[in-house]
Structure 1
Amino acid sequence: MRPLLAGLLILLAAPAAAQPGAVEVRVPRTFGYFLGDLVEATVEVEAEPGFALQAASLPRPGPVTYWLDLRSVETESAGTRHRLRLTYQTFYAAIDARTLEVPGFPLVLTSGDAHGATTAPVQVPGWSLGLSPLREVQPARRADPAEYLRPDGPGPRLDPAPPRDAALVLAGLALPALLLLARDRAWWPLRPRPARAFAEAARRLAALARGPETEAGYREGLLALHRGLDAKAGRRLLADDLDAFLARHPAYRPQAESLARFFAASRLAFFGGAVAEARTRLPLAEAQATARRLAAVERAA
């Protein structure tokens, strides 16, 4: 009796196996599929209350057979009805109308409570799929092989005016933008030229030479040449700095004697109070000629 009682207790404690529910497979159509087509299938399982599909038993996306792949699996449950939405893709290159079998697969329904878990295996049956060829096996014989090809479809006539007008408008907008960029980047020919200090001094002396000769005009002419020398040297240039300036700028060495006379006349005019004597030593016309020669050397450099 004791072994029999123990066996009964073990049977009560073990999970019970439930009866499988009804299974139904539906597809939009079972024929007329071509190479590469997607096939939608719906599997509905009617189970007892409290049972759910076991996720581990669901089919995994991937190859099913050499000609069929499972692309996706979606599940949906409503009460005792469980629905699987399966998407297959065919890769069978049929040469004639042919029916192939899509294999079925097993599912497991589970129901758990405090006393244990109950499982119920469900077998989804296979179903047939009709595949059609992309072309006929033996087409009609043609004398010219080119007749087997279909002619090109007529393309739509495109009006070139809108893209042409748009291109012209964009080109018109791009030109000023390019000019602004060239000015900002100092590209040629908008690259600023270095300032020509002696050319500016020569222009100022030529303007003064066209007017009446006055002491104020003479001093202004000397100041114009002074400013040109200062700009070229990068600082105030005095008579004692002339040798160092010519050493740094050897192109102006031929004008050393003229520059020495200029500094001597400038010292008389501004510090000696002898403008008349300075004009005698260095007339304004000679100062203008010195500025022109310096400007010529500057332009050549």
Structure 2
Amino acid sequence: MKKSIRQYALILFMCMSPLTAFALDSQELPDVKEGIVTIETKDPVKLVGYTVGDVIEREVTLTIKAPYKLIDTSLPIPGYEKRYRGQLIGIELKSINHVKKESKKQTVHHIKLAYQVFTNNVVAKNAALGPEYLNLINATDKKELVKYRVPSLTIAISPIAIFGQVKVENNMSPLLGPLLMTEDKEMRYLKISLAAIALSLIGLLYILGKSAWLPRMGGAFAKAYRAVRKTGNTDEGIKQAISTLHQGLNTTAGMSVFSDNLSAFLHNHPDFYPIRTEIEEFFGLSRRVYFEPSYKLEGEHTADQNPHQWLTRFARHCRDCERGLIPEPMKAGA
């Protein structure tokens, strides 16, 4: 009987002065039964480092099953400064945005809360947003009033300036979590370096490779270069190397190439332009070896100083041109 009288008085008092009733009696109501209210909160990712003037936003979504309804006047009031154990904590509710969607079975309340910090201290301290107590009423039984407690959110408020000696390890908030060193920059440099190394290795494989399975690596001069390297530095070996290179030129051109039609060959195969001088030198060496048997290779021409070594380098230059590469020019005496 006393409980019914008290609840009637509370309803009447709330109708007459809802704000005062919420402040005085909200926490004294019984808790709502489990399963009636479900809650989802969207809390800020940052929980530490707030200072004077910072705004902290929090979103709460309440789903209340019928026949219970939320008493709108029990929502927190903008301008209300939060207290902890009766003491002001320096956090004020700046604004509230309430949107509800009703259906026969339930009502969904989407509440956006914005708190603002109005306190400062010489050391970091913890503070709490909430708890907020909301009043519910049973629509089929107006006598039944219950409350629901929106969980609080603990944050850390930092001072604007620090005075005196501070030991970081003794003043770290447990809300901060472990301090991790970011490795994004190092990982980016590592990926760039690995990509550069991979491209360099592919380039070296393409330039120095002897296999024919890579693009443009099975040409006539790739085979000629391998054959010339195996010939010896003898008269017979030099003749064999010259013959192999002539065959490479003819295969590439699709016809017999000599000094008189060299321009036509270069016109059809412009990749060989960088070694035009070397090709002319090769024809001169070939003529002296095959058609001037009395001529001695005594160093009058560059190719005569070390014919086998020169022919080997010339074969490699032809192979490079065949692959679309520009070889380095031969130096005198090479």
Q: Fold-level match, TM-score > 0.5?
A: no
Decide which structure has the larger Cα Rg and report it: 1
